[in-house]
Structure 1
Amino acid sequence: MTMSRFLNGAEASRQYGVLAGHCAASLMWADPLADAAAGALQPLGESWWPMVLKALEPGAGALPDAPPALAALIAALPPEPTAEEWEALEAGRAAIARTGNSASLVVQCALLAIDAWAPPMTTSPQQASRQLSETGDWWLKLHAPGGLRRGADGYKATLRVRLTNAFRRRAVRETGTWDRRAWGEPINQGDLFAQISAFTAVLLDGLHRMGYRLTQAEKDGYYVFWRYAAAVLGLHKTWLGMIDAERCGPFWKMWLLVNPPPNAQAQAQANRTLDAFARTGGGAAFLDRVLLSGMTHWLLGRDVAQGLGVPNGPMTYLLPAIYPPTSYLAQRLGGSRERRLTRTVAALARS
């Protein structure tokens, strides 16, 4: 019997109320516009992305022969934020960008949990490394100054992630092995909201543990940043209004509660991913692996880290003592740390 993707429903309802109902309903809810566009673009092979870029250019006549499904997707992209929203989201983005590699460490730890608690869609180490590099590349582009301006690299990369998710859904469905009745749609709306929760609530909590002290305006602005980024990414407007501190944190905990815990295969994949990230970190692989394992326990908590099968060690207890006092150095060395992350992403892409 295939395990359901919504376990512990009564306990989830007791703890999280209506969020549990939203999560259960989201399992069958994907991204029809992106799915239709992916279906129309698939026959183009490797040339699908240049067509999307052309269709994204200003002017209705930029690509008159674009597939109707692609034109519909482009037409439905969210309107530009107001000047006030731009000011807020740029303040939030800049605050996160100043933390340099620290933010990326939190995100990479959270992505391990997202991959492990969801039904398997990739199994090979090569695929895991490629996805890690693609996520890192997207992250860097998205958090560049003005990265969310329409036509900017971060905006285009976000749209590409949306369509790549649609291609992945299509490929998974075509295998005939995906149990839709038990698991719902691949990369459904609940999965997307879980990712946004990791990129906001989990990230901000992790940075606070690391010793970074963002102002309330910066944290509020970062939620504004992700409300717009998530709209481009294909999150439905029903969920967009829930991207705030009051709901993203609880949703993350609930998502871990209702999804099946990682099996041995998922645990092995999580550790292979940590190994790959350690090998490309620029230092001693063993030291980097110990550090990353400790980071996972510290930032995600013991239960999540144990669920991932990540070994515990002394760094779990040393990091809370040594990282916060030096976080001000991380902010001042953000440029060099960001360059190190860029090298890591490039190395993963080649692996």
Structure 2
Amino acid sequence: MTSAPTRPDGRTFRGDLDVPPGLPRGIDLGRIANKDKAIAMYGRELVEKLTDHALLADDYAYQAMLDFKDKSNNTNWRTFDLALEQGIDAVDDPSPGLVALFAELDRIPDWVDFDQLYRGAVAFWRAGPIVPPVLAWATIAGGFSMYSATRPVLFSGRLRQSDKVGTRLIESFRYVVAAYTPGGMRRFEEGFRLTAKVRMIHAAVRHSLSHSEVWDWANWGVPINNLDGMVTQAGQFGVKFIDAVQNSGFRYSDRELEDIFALSRYVGHVIGVPADILHTGYEDARRKTELHTLLELPPDELCRDVVHSVIAYSVENPPGDVEILPGPIAKFMTTERRLALAYGLLYSWIPTDVLTALGAERTAWRHVLPAVRPLVAVAHRIGRLLPHDDEKTAFDILRTFNAAIEVPHGQKAVAVANPEEVHADIAANKGDMPVVARS
């Protein structure tokens, strides 16, 4: 068994690089709610283990980011991209941090079965036309209803300024679609590449916020921390996605659930969630997601701004002008109707108390999905009994989605956020976040 990779100073990675001293334990951070109830329901050991990770983050990527800042070596975004495209051996004299990061990226855990991951990706998309609106409105927009997950995105203003929302939304779609494309998470495929790229962008955002006078450590913990990274994969693109699809009338088999959560587990591994809190399967993901939800503060005005901004933009400007609604529905939908429909559907996909806190309009469209759900369920059951081709269904939806989010002129470098632009926006506090008083 090989020893854990070390930092350039010889210490093993702990997840606390650049974390200031004197902070409370994770369970005592201002962002943690209902801790006594959580301990009573889930046990102190699990609650403290997960909340401790609000003060820990991905030091493999972060150390590589620190190497980028050190001009005494030749490690930078260009050499990172080279290692990502061709392997770490293609880089001349890579820094210790970059070597350690790629040792992690190239390590395939013994639980990974790429055939299972392929099946999981097919299952993820095989519900067909309902998947794009679930992803856009329930998963991505709805994910920003979480108080803690919203904090790191506020400072750049990219999800609060109308001229930036579209770019940010399409970048999110590109990453998720690529990662959940069948076969996309093999080492040199696009899903793996974008997942690793997003991992480094997270490190860049963490670095920018860690050195910002507006980041509130005692309340929020580490920017882009392990706890929130875990629930993004286990919850946002796992449990909450599955629940929204199944609340629409579809049903996943036990095997499909195992396969989908094996895929989201590997995406979590590649993006830097540590093994000791990374979900191990469907039931573990649900348990950790429900605990995280219990520990969350209610959505605040900033959450409301972001959620409404994302939904309004996706309704008024479908990604790439390609419909995310099924064709027969889209034909008679004005922008006003689309917005009302989006909020109506959310009442079947997101808990009512969350929507109330977000100030979501209770449109008449909220009755539509409950009314048609029995018909969808019957059609789904019949369809599963008849000959069907889930792989074709998945790739048909992916073909449409990829047309909507295609990178301009094949420019792979702009598939996801430009870290230098994000850093500049954070440094300028374009989100107009208040400065935190320091003791």
Q: For the superposition of Structure 1 and Structure 2, which TM-score range results when normalised by the shorter chain?
A: 0.7 to 0.9
The reply on whether 1:144 has 2:173 as its aligned counterpart is no
Between 1:291-300 and 1:275-284, the stretch displaced more is 275-284
The reply on whether 1:120 has 2:151 as its aligned counterpart is yes
Q: Is the 8 A contact 1:92 1:221 kept in 2?
A: yes
AA aligned opposite 2:38: A
2:91 to 16, 40, 63: 63
Q: Which has the higher contact order (CA 8 A, sep 6+)?
A: 1
Q: Distance in 2 between matches of 1:69 and 1:191?
A: 23
TM-score scaled by structure 1?
0.87
The reply on whether 1:158 has 2:158 as its aligned counterpart is no
The reply on whether 1:16 has 2:42 as its aligned counterpart is yes
The reply on whether 1:38 has 2:75 as its aligned counterpart is no
State the structure with more CA Rg: 2
Q: Could you say if the C-alpha distance between residues 293 and 341 of structure 1 is closer, same or farther in structure 2, counting changes exceeding 3 Å? A: farther
TM-score scaled by structure 2?
0.71
Figure out how many residues of one structure are paired with residues of the other and give that number. 345
Q: Could you say if the C-alpha distance between residues 68 and 324 of structure 1 is closer, same or farther in structure 2, counting changes exceeding 3 Å? A: farther
The Cα shift of 1:299 comes to 0.6
Q: Is the 8 A contact 2:178 2:191 kept in 1?
A: yes
2:237 to 199, 203, 207: 199
Aligned equivalent of 1:213: 251
AA aligned opposite 2:151: P
* 1:78-133 deviation digits (Å, cap 9, x = unpaired): 53366982222211111112224433433332333432322533233344433321
Q: Could you say if the C-alpha distance between residues 168 and 324 of structure 1 is closer, same or farther in structure 2, counting changes exceeding 3 Å? A: farther
2:359 to 306, 309, 314: 309
State the Cα RMSD in Å. Answer: 3.0
Aligned equivalent of 1:229: 267
The reply on whether 1:294 has 2:344 as its aligned counterpart is yes
Q: Is the 8 A contact 1:141 1:153 kept in 2?
A: yes
1:264 to 301, 307, 331: 301
Q: Could you say if the C-alpha distance between residues 74 and 334 of structure 1 is closer, same or farther in structure 2, counting changes exceeding 3 Å? A: closer
Name structure 2 gaps, 5 residues minimum. Answer: 1-28, 324-329, 384-389, 408-414, 416-439
Name structure 1 gaps, 5 residues minimum. Answer: none
The Cα shift of 1:252 comes to 2.4
- Structure ranking higher in helix proportion: 1
Q: Distance in 1 between matches of 2:95 and 2:291?
A: 39
AA aligned opposite 2:144: D
User: SS at 1:278's partner residue?
Assistant: helix
* 1:282-322 deviation digits (Å, cap 9, x = unpaired): 45322221121122221112112222222111221211222
Between 1:81-90 and 1:281-290, the stretch displaced more is 81-90
Aligned equivalent of 2:113: 85
Aligned equivalent of 2:222: 185
Q: Distance in 1 between matches of 2:188 and 2:229?
A: 23
AA aligned opposite 1:212: F
Q: Distance in 2 between matches of 1:301 and 1:81?
A: 35
Q: Could you say if the C-alpha distance between residues 324 and 102 of structure 1 is closer, same or farther in structure 2, counting changes exceeding 3 Å? A: farther
Q: Distance in 1 between matches of 2:231 and 2:132?
A: 17
The Cα shift of 1:226 comes to 1.6
